[in-house]
Structures are given as C-alpha cells and as structure tokens.
A = this chain, B = another copy of it.
Amino acid sequence: MRPAPGAKPADPGARTSTESVRPSRRAGLTRGDQLLFLTDAQLRQGVELMFFAYRDMISDADKVLESRGYGRAHHRCLHFVWRRPGMSVTDLLETLAVTKQSLNRVLRQLVEDGLILSAVGAADRRQRLLTLTPEGETLVRTISDAQNARMRRVFMEAGADAVQGFKTVLAGMIDEGGREAVLALVNDQGPS
C-alpha cells in the first residue's frame, strides 16, 4: 500500500522463492559503508512488502481475537500492559499513539471483563497503574504463540544475517523523535 513511483530496472536478486531484489551496486554514491544504488522501484518494493507482510502477520492475531469478540485495539492494550506491568494510562497512551478517548473505551472493557487490573498509584494517586490478571495473561500468551509460529518459521528460513538486516532496517524506519524510547521498550526483556 504505499506507493512509490517507479523508475527503472531492477535486478531481481533472489533469495526466497520468487525474489527479493538485490540493490544493484554500482559506482555512484558511496554512503558510509555500502554502495547503494537506490532506484524508486526498489524503494517502492520495500514499502509494498511492508504492507503485505504486516497484513498477513496481523491476521494470526485476528483469528484468536475474533473468537473472543475483541479487536486489535484490545490486543495492543493487553500486549503492552503485559510487557510493562504497572504502566500508567499515560504511558500506554504514548506507546500506542492514540487519543485517550479511544484508549479509554477499550481499556474500560478490558477492566470490566477482568483481563486488566487498574490500581491507584502509590506514589502518585492520580495515576492508574495497569497490570494483567491471570486471565488477561492467558489471552496474551495465546495470541503471542500464534504469531510466534510465523516469525519462527520465517527467521529460520531467512537465516541470522537476514534477520539482523530486517531488524536494522525496521529500527531505522521508526520516527527519530521517540526512537530511542521505542527501542528501549522493544529490547527490554520484561518480566516474561
């Protein structure tokens, strides 16, 4: 879904079944470590691959959520509360980058359904510190397992170097303001 105007030829690299585009390296711009000759078509491919891969990855979670009557918004809440037990509503708001009204609607449901606990903060009593109930954790883990199956297979097939490149590029795509905080969260082991 995201476009990119095209340019010229490409050279199909080939790695997976059909291919994956090998950036042609030619004498052109040297940029730090690599000689990358980036055509618009190559950039477009990156954007389109993100669209399709993301779309299919999410479908794994959707299947589990569907049976419980929840949507993706519920999953996002559950996931991050699981990753950062005791986080405040504001923390969650910033992580998700949505408005508090949107979040609150979903959060209220999860608390009512007994998947999330909302406790008044000890230090700052205005805050509501969020944690998962055992039932909430069970659901999160069920969804995770479904998604991990896909990731594990792909990572195995692609190999360690490809996985490293994958993570490097994705990290670079995150908005600079806030990238550090996001990467800190992602890299945090958390209480698993």
A residues adjacent to B (C-beta < 8 A): 1-23, 25, 31-36, 38, 40-61, 72-73, 75-76, 78-80, 82-83, 96-97, 140-141, 143-148, 150-175, 179-180, 182-187, 189-192
User: Shortest CB–CB separation between residue A68 and chain B, in angstroms?
Assistant: 14
A79 touching B1 in the complex, CB below 8 Å, given contacts A8-B54, A151-B46, A186-B49: yes
How many copies altogether? 2
Which B residues lie within 8 Å of A169 (CB)? 53, 154-155, 158, 162-163, 165-166
User: Shortest CB–CB separation between residue A4 and chain B, in angstroms?
Assistant: 4
User: Shortest CB–CB separation between residue A136 and chain B, in angstroms?
Assistant: 12
Which B residues lie within 8 Å of A78 (CB)? 3
User: Shortest CB–CB separation between residue A44 and chain B, in angstroms?
Assistant: 7
Which B residues lie within 8 Å of A25 (CB)? 160
Bound: A175/B150 CA distance, A: 9
Which B residues lie within 8 Å of A58 (CB)? 2, 8-11
Additional pairs, 14, CB under 8 Å, beyond known A1-B79, A6-B190, A12-B80: A1-B76, A2-B58, A10-B189, A11-B147, A12-B79, A14-B148, A16-B141, A21-B192, A32-B159, A43-B152, A57-B173, A150-B173, A158-B172, A163-B165
Interface of A is mostly: helix
Say whether B79 contacts A141, CB under 8 Å. Answer: no
* Residue of chain B at shortest CB distance from A37: B160
